[in-house]
């Protein structure tokens, strides 16, 4: 955002984030988005006109084990935040949603009209969050946008790479670094190579999508709500991804196939048409860019 000339203030409790990743000129407040008094002060002191709400718990497995924590913070906390936003007269609200709202639809391309049927509490909180955001926007007269991210990967610079091992790309890197073969969960799906197909999106493209959405929200004639998929519209199988990771890392040992994981959809690929139409945004980076950049980041953080 700052690179694009926008002024921002960042509120983050650093539960998973790192303050050193912010540019030196970005005002930073350490604290929780669940702390309503603090949020109200920050909105007022910085004359905030729009909010991009990224903070959330996002681990599917943990959400199954601790659903009350997910509902309390991702939904209840969001309700408090929206009250503060409405009270401060903020006119625009951008919400990080997820492809997890769809669950496992049996369609070739997931459009925004595909029925939402999340299959875990994390996805449920994202869907409830969307409902809440749209309802609050309608009630208080601010414009809202929900971005449903598909599978985020890659790094904009090695030092900014994700250090968590929660998604497939770092999970494969982790196995290779431990001198172990990558794992594929299920190779008997009804897909061309039997492995699950996903839509991967480079984090730099995702950032551009936020900028496009923020700009659209800032236009004087923007009212109401928009909910849009953020993906490339192209499917890549887990086996294709593992092969690509082998090429990039130079470690081409064959993957081991294990049992399917419960809840994994055979295919989850976005229709990217609405994003192109409404945001004028389209992903530019391919899966090799994601793996290349993620690998440079992994090497930096694990050398």
Rounded CA-CA distance 229/140 in Å is 25
CB of 19 to ligand NAD, least distance (A): 9
CB of 77 to ligand NAD, least distance (A): 6
Of residues 233, 287, 242, 238, the one with CA closest to residue 260: 238
Indicate whether 59 belongs to the interface with ligand NAD (CB under 6 A): no
CB of 179 to ligand NAD, least distance (A): 27
Candidate list 58, 134, 210, 239; residue touching ligand NAD; CB under 6 A: 58
Of residues 137, 132, 146, the one with CA closest to residue 85: 137
CB of 151 to ligand NAD, least distance (A): 6
Rounded CA-CA distance 59/29 in Å is 25
C-beta separation of 244 from 287 below 8 A = yes
Indicate whether 16 belongs to the interface with ligand NAD (CB under 6 A): yes
∠ CA 147-151-155, rounded to 5°: 95
Task: Count residues binding ligand NAD (CB under 6 A).
Answer: 20
User: What is the token pair recorded at 65?
Assistant: 């084990």
Rounded CA-CA distance 200/288 in Å is 10
Of residues 94, 13, 92, 22, the one with CA closest to residue 57: 13
CB of 234 to ligand NAD, least distance (A): 17
- Indicate the residue among 55 and 294 with the shorter CB distance to ligand NAD: 55
Indicate whether 17 belongs to the interface with ligand NAD (CB under 6 A): yes
Residue 258: beta bridge partners?
185
Residue window 142-171: x/- pattern of binding to ligand NAD, with contact defined by CB under 6 A = -------x-xx--------------x----
Residues in the chain, how many? 303
Indicate whether 110 belongs to the interface with ligand NAD (CB under 6 A): no
Centre a 10 Å sphere on the Cβ of residue 176 and count the other Cβ atoms it contains: 19
The residue with its CB nearest to ligand NAD is: 17
Candidate list 48, 56, 109, 269; residue touching ligand NAD; CB under 6 A: 56
- Indicate the residue among 82 and 252 with the shorter CB distance to ligand NAD: 82
Of residues 256, 153, 236, 242, the one with CA closest to residue 191: 236
Rounded CA-CA distance 25/8 in Å is 10
Indicate whether 15 belongs to the interface with ligand NAD (CB under 6 A): yes
DSSP class of residue 270 equals B
Candidate list 55, 81, 155, 176; residue touching ligand NAD; CB under 6 A: 55
CB of 250 to ligand NAD, least distance (A): 26
| Tokens 């192209």 found at | 234
Catalytic site residues? 122
Indicate whether 102 belongs to the interface with ligand NAD (CB under 6 A): no
Judged by the rule CB under 6 A, the positions of this chain that interact with ligand NAD are 11-17, 32-34, 54-56, 58, 96, 98, 149, 151-152, 167
């Amino acid at each position: 955002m700052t690179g694009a000339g926008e002024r921002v203030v960042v509120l983050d409790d650093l539960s998973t984030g790192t303050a050193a990743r912010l540019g030196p000129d970005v005002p930073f407040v350490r604290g929780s988005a669940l702390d309503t008094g603090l949020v109200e002060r920050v909105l007022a002191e910085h004359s905030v006109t729009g909010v991009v709400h990224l903070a959330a718990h996002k681990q599917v497995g943990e959400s199954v084990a601790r659903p009350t924590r997910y509902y309390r913070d991702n939904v209840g906390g969001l309700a408090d935040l929206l009250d503060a936003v409405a009270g401060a007269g903020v006119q625009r609200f951008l919400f990080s949603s997820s492809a997890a709202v769809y669950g496992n639809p049996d369609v070739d391309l997931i459009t925004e009209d595909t029925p939402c049927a999340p299959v875990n509490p994390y996805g449920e909180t994202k869907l409830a969050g969307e409902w809440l955001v749209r309802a609050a926007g309608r009630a208080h007269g601010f414009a809202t946008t929900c971005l449903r991210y598909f599978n985020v990967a890659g790094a904009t610079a090695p030092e900014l790479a994700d250090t968590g091992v929660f998604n497939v790309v770092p999970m494969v890197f982790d196995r290779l670094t431990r001198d172990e073969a990558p794992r594929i969960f299920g190779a008997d799906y009804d897909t061309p190579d039997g492995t699950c197909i996903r839509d991967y999106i480079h984090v730099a493209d995702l950032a551009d999508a936020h900028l496009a959405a923020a700009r659209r929200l800032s236009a004087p004639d923007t009212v109401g709500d928009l909910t849009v998929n953020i993906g490339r519209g192209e499917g890549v199988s887990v086996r294709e991804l593992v092969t690509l990771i082998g090429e990039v890392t130079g470690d081409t040992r064959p993957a081991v196939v294990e049992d399917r994981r419960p809840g994994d959809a055979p295919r989850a690929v976005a229709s990217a048409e609405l994003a192109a139409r409404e945001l004028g945004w389209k992903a530019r980076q391919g899966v090799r860019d994601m793996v290349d950049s993620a690998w440079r980041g992994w090497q930096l953080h694990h050398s």
